[in-house]
Every structure is written in C-alpha cells, then in structure tokens.
C-alpha cells in the first residue's frame, strides 16, 4: 500500500486500546512478568490490525499526539511504531505519516468475520463464520430446477436491478403468508443481507449521522456502518437472553434521534435472543415516534431450534408497522439455504424500493440470475411435499443440523472450559460466551496459532467493548466441536500463563 486511505485519531485509538491496557496493568493470574511499555503498545496495535478493528491503510496518529492521549512518553510511542514497522504492520513515508499494513505471508487474512478458505479446513477449525454447509440434496435440486427455468432469461441481457419478478413475487407471497401483506413492488433482491444493509444505509444515512445498534451486534454490519462514516449509538442488550431494554431504546431514540436503527429481533447475532411481539411493537412505536428508520435483519428467521409442534414464532417486525414507512426488513438465503448463493433482499415501502433500485447501478448492478431462480424454485413449491415447499424442507434440514451442532458445542465447552459462561439460546446459530475473565482478543490470537479460529467479543461492540467475550457458532458437529473446545482450552491456558501474542506479557482480562 503506497498511501493511507483513512485515519484514526489519538483519542479513538486510545479508547480501542483501553481494555487491553487495563488487562495488562491489572496483572491477573499470569500477570507477574513485566514487558516494556513500547512492546505492550505495539502488541495492542498489532492485535487491533489483525482483528480488522483498525482497517489496513489507516493512518495512525502522530507520535506526539498518541503519547499525550495515552499518557506515555513520546519515546515509547516511537519505539512501538518502529517495532510495528519492523514486523510489517506499519508503513511510513516522510511527510505522509505512518499507516497500518499487513505483513506479507501473514497467515491471517484479517478483517471482520472473514471465513477461512475451506481448503485450509484440514488444519484449522473455523468458528469464525456462522454459516452451515448446504442442506443437500435441496441445493443441487434447486439449481437443477433453476437450470430448467433459465432459457427465457438467457435470451435477455441478464441485468435485473430490482431482482427477477418471479423471486420478488415468491418472497412477497411468503411475507403475506406470514401476516405481512406484501406486493412484489415492495421487494428488491440484493447481494446477500450485507448488500441490503449497505443499500439501505446509503439511502437513509448521510456520513456523520447517527445509527442506533444493539450492543453487542453483528460485527460485519457494525464495521460496514463505521466505514460508511456513521456514528454508532450502542444500546445495551439485557443480560442472558432478556434482549431489548425498551426504556433504554425509547430514551436513545428520543434523545439521539438517529437516522436509522439496526436490530436483529429474530435470534439476535451474537446473543441468540428472540424479541417477543410486545418488544417488537414497542420498538417500532419508539422508532416511528423518533422518525427513525428501523432496519430489521431477519437473516436468522426460521432457525427456531427448540420450537414445539404448533408453536407460532413471533410475527415479523414489519407486522407492527401498519403505516409501512418505519420498518425496512432485510432477509437472506444465506442462513436458510446456503451462504454460497449470495442472495438477500429488502422489503420496504414501494417508494423506498424504487429509490434503492435507482441507486443500485452504482453499486453491484444486480444479483446472479441462476441463484435467484434457484431460490424462487424452492419458494414456489419445487422440492416440496406434504404441504411444505422446498425452502421449508431445506430449513428443516438446517434446523436439525444446527440443533445437533449446538448440543455438541455446549457439551464440549462445558466439559473443557468449565468457567466459561453462556446462556443457551432457543434458536439462531451463535453462542455468546463470557471467557472467564480472559481477554477474548488474546484467546482469538492464541487460537489462530493452535488451529481454531474464533471471533473475539470486541468485534461485536463499539469502542472496544466486550473484551471478555468470544462468539461460537453452531457450525461443527460432535468430534470437531470437542477438538475445537480442546484447542480453545489450550489457547486459554496460553493466555493465562502470559505466553500468547508472541510476547512476554500478561494477558488476563479484568473488566
């Protein structure tokens, strides 16, 4: 990288470093050895870069400013920067400052919840990405069905900025059946749920404006919003699975009047909480009163792992928005069918969809046609039997798989990491785990070296919160879950004994 493209201020960097610094100075169980201050600082920055919490090509503050913000000497900062440069984590040029970099040959691809390439799966257990294998045979059958439907589309230019009419209709019908009357004009097909959130952000949130988010929330969306210049306003989730603190939400929406709020009411990522209908109703009412667009991400919808026969899930958030102008819904086939499809969608008022479609040509133009046909095939009865369509049958396979994985994970963590705490959610794909006082960032780094990839808590937080957490997904089965827990336990021991991060420094975390 020849130059920097964004910058981080001294006070912001100090805030990101604070939890780690607290951990270092507090000592903790392994905190008997001391490391030079410059080394601790370099380690801290390196962790933030490796985790993608400081993007590559970000200019760091001038030495003098950072020294002031951290209340250390300028020599300490200069030595830390020099050490980072020597390791390839920093590049500098006279007059242009210093900016973050990734050293060549670094085994970490870095970034947010970036999945490990499956070809590396032989050596690394990837718990970074909460996505399951495809629910075969439904994926292959859906593609075969799609291929049979392709010929008339192959005669066109193939660009459908709003999505294929057949899929927009099928999704509208599905919303209508779930209690939210919907027309095809209210649906736009996107490139996954991330493409949907990016488009909505672009329409509603100018740079520098506020967006309210659950705290914790989905790491990649938090980062997407940050990179788009949004100011995140975190609203704490309740303990365990209690979820949405309505008085806090009402207060934040009233006082901060954010342009947009982003919520995952259906098996929240990462905590697994499920909003009941009363919470949904009140969230929508509070957003409407504040003039805030409420984005409801339904990616995990349908992953009811403990539903008993006849139990009805809560109605969609949009069902509590009769005017139709407050709630914008985001959906995806990634969790329901397969992330390799890259099909998501937005449901909103027709005028909002029109504006989103108009803006789309400057982003990705459209979504892949065959994938759209495959999803439409599943939704409109392909692969169905006994009153269920192929989508529902594929979802049933997914739920069964996720349920088994969840049991295996919970048992393995309880056995190998008895002091890690969590509440088992009734659905979704993630377990939000308190790591017994150890730093989640250090565990993530040690895990990388021991063959298990986990995302640390701060990725799901604002300004370094949740240092004492990791997120574990329901994506691996019995023996792999056991091996993963074993490796995590080894990583925890490394952190506890201060031998993580390649430096002689204590790594316990005291919140």
The answer to whether residue 109 forms part of the interface with a copy of itself (CB under 8 A) is: yes
Position 366 contacts a copy of itself (CB under 8 A): yes
Residue 77 or 162: the one with the smaller Cβ distance to a copy of itself is 162
Nearer to a copy of itself, 1 or 289 (CB): 1
Which part of the chain contacts a copy of itself (CB under 8 A), choosing from 73-81, 123-131, 242-250, 296-304? 123-131
**Given 159, 208, 309, 310, the residue binding a copy of itself (CB under 8 A):** 159
The Cα–Cα gap between 97 and 89 comes to 14
Contact flag: residue 227 with a copy of itself (CB under 8 A):
yes
- Pairing status of strand 327-332 against strand 430-434: unpaired
β-bridge mates for residue 508, sequence order: 438
Residue 477 touches a copy of itself, criterion: CB under 8 A: no
The residue (of 39 and 354) whose beta carbon lies closer to a copy of itself is 354
Closest CB 246 distance from a copy of itself, rounded Å: 23
Distance CA 216, CA 7 (A): 24
Residues 56-75, mask of contacts with a copy of itself (x by CB under 8 A): xx------------------
- Write out the binding residues for a copy of itself, residues 260-319 only, by CB under 8 A: 291, 293
Identity of the residue, 346 or 496, whose beta carbon is nearer to a copy of itself in the bound complex: 346
Q: Does 9 bind a copy of itself (CB under 8 A)?
A: no
List 19, 52, 61, 458, residue binding a copy of itself (CB under 8 A): 52
Cis before 493 (ω within 30): no
**How many of the chain's residues bind a copy of itself (CB under 8 A)?**
97
In the shown chain, the binding pattern of residues 373 to 412 toward a copy of itself, with x for contact by CB under 8 A and - for none, equals ----------------------------------------
Three-class SS string for 396-431? HHHHHHHHHHHHHHHHHHHHHCCCCECCCCCECCEE
The nearer residue to a copy of itself, 195 or 457, going by C-beta atoms, is 195
* Helix and strand totals (H; E) in the chain: 16, 15
Q: Rounded to the nearest whole angstrom, what is the least distance from the CB of residue 7 to a copy of itself in the complex? A: 8
CA 64 to chain CA centroid, Å, is 35
Residue of 119, 208, 323, 385 interacting with a copy of itself (CB under 8 A): 119
Strand pairing category for 344-347 and 187-190: antiparallel
Please state whether beta strands 97-100 and 90-93 pair in parallel, antiparallel, or not at all (unpaired): antiparallel
Q: Which of 202, 234, 384, 437 binds a copy of itself (CB under 8 A)?
A: 202
Give the residue with the Cβ less far from a copy of itself, 32 or 156: 156
Nearest distance from residue 364's CB to a copy of itself, in Å? 5
Cβ-based nearer residue to a copy of itself, 6 or 423: 6
Token pair listed for 179: 């209690």
* Neighbour-count burial of 95, counting CB atoms closer than 10 A to its CB (0-12 exposed, 13-18 middle, 19+ buried): exposed
Compose the 322-351 pattern: x for residues touching a copy of itself by CB under 8 A, - for all others: ---x--------x---xxxxx-------xx
Q: In DSSP terms, which residues pair with 235 in a beta bridge?
A: 214
Say if CB 392 and CB 144 are below 8 A apart. no
Rank residues 74 and 354 by Cβ distance to a copy of itself and give the closer one: 354
Is 267 within 8 Å of 425 (Cβ atoms)? Answer: yes
Task: Tell me how far apart the alpha carbons of residues 103 and 505 are, in angstroms, rounded to a whole number.
Answer: 22
Residue (20 or 334) nearer to a copy of itself, CB: 334
Q: Is 92 among the residues that bind a copy of itself (CB under 8 A)?
A: no
Nearest of 319, 311, 269, 273 to residue 294 by alpha carbon: 319
Identify the residue among 9, 179, 181, 206 touching a copy of itself (CB under 8 A): 206
CB 287 within 8 A of CB 253: yes
**Measuring CA to CA, how many Å separate 432 from each of 332, 429, 445?**
22, 10, 18
Nearer to a copy of itself, 225 or 275 (CB): 225
Q: Does 502 bind a copy of itself (CB under 8 A)?
A: no
Q: Which is nearer to a copy of itself, 239 or 255 (CB)?
A: 255
Helix/strand/coil percent split, the chain, to 5: 45, 15, 40
Site for a copy of itself in 410-469 (CB under 8 A): none
Nearer to a copy of itself, 162 or 233 (CB): 162
Structure tokens at 333: 């086939």
> For residues 219 and 198, is the Cβ–Cβ distance under 8 A?
no
Residue 37 is encoded by which pair of tokens? Answer: 């201050």
How far is Cα 274 from Cα 294, in angstroms, rounded to an integer?
17
The CB-of-153 to a copy of itself minimum distance in angstroms stands at: 7
By CB under 8 A, residue 220 contacts a copy of itself: yes
Q: Which of 9, 26, 64, 147 binds a copy of itself (CB under 8 A)?
A: 147
H-helix or E-strand spanning residue 373: helix 369-379
Residue 278, helix vs strand vs coil = helix
Residue 83 as a binder of a copy of itself (CB under 8 A): the answer is: no
């Amino acid at each position: 990288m020849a130059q920097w493209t964004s910058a981080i201020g001294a006070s912001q960097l100090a805030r990101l470093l604070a939890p780690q610094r607290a951990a270092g100075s507090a000592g903790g169980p392994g905190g008997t050895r001391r490391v030079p201050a410059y080394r601790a600082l370099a380690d801290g920055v390196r962790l933030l870069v490796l985790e993608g919490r400081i993007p590559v090509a970000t200019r760091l503050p001038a030495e003098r400013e950072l020294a002031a913000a951290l209340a250390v000497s300028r020599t300490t900062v200069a030595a830390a920067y020099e050490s980072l440069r020597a390791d390839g984590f920093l590049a500098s040029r006279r007059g242009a400052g210093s900016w973050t970099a990734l050293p060549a040959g670094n085994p970490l691809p870095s970034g947010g919840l970036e999945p490990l390439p499956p070809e590396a799966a032989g050596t690394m257990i990837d718990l970074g990405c909460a996505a399951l294998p495809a629910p075969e045979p439904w994926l292959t059958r859906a593609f075969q069905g799609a291929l049979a439907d392709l010929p008339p589309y192959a005669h066109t230019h193939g660009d459908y900025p709003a999505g294929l009419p057949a899929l927009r209709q099928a999704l509208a019908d599905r919303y209508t059946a779930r209690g939210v009357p919907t027309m095809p004009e209210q649906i736009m097909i996107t490139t996954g749920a991330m493409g949907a959130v990016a488009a909505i952000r672009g329409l509603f949130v100018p740079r520098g404006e506020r967006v309210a988010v659950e705290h914790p929330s989905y790491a990649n969306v938090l980062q997407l919003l940050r990179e788009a210049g949004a100011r995140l306003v975190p609203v704490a989730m309740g303990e365990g699975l209690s979820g949405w603190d309505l008085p806090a939400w009402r207060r934040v929406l009233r006082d901060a009047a954010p342009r947009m709020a982003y919520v995952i009411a259906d098996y929240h990522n990462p905590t697994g909480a499920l909003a009941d209908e009363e919470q949904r109703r009140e969230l929508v009412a509070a957003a409407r009163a504040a003039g805030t667009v409420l984005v409801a991400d339904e990616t995990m919808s349908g992953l009811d792992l403990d539903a008993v026969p006849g139990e009805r899930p809560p109605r969609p958030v949009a069902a509590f928005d009769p005017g139709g102008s407050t709630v914008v819904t985001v959906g995806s086939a990634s969790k329901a069918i397969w992330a390799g499809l890259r099909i998501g969608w937005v449901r909103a008022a027709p005028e909002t969809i029109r504006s989103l479609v108009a803006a789309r040509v400057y982003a990705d133009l459209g979504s892949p046609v065959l994938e759209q046909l495959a999803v439409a095939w599943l939704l409109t009865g392909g692969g169905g039997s006994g009153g269920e369509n192929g989508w529902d049958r594929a979802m049933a396979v997914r739920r069964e798989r996720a349920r088994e994985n969840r049991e295996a994970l919970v048992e393995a963590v309880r056995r190998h990491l008895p002091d890690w705490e969590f509440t088992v959610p009734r659905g979704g794909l993630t377990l939000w785990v308190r790591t017994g006082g150890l730093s989640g960032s250090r565990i993530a780094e040690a895990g990388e070296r021991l063959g298990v990839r986990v995302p640390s808590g701060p990725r799901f937080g604002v300004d370094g919160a949740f240092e004492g957490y990791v997120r574990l997904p329901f994506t691996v089965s019995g023996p792999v879950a056991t091996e993963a827990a074993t490796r995590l336990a080894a990583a925890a021991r490394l952190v506890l004994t201060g031998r993580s991060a390649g430096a002689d420094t204590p790594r316990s975390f005291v919140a």
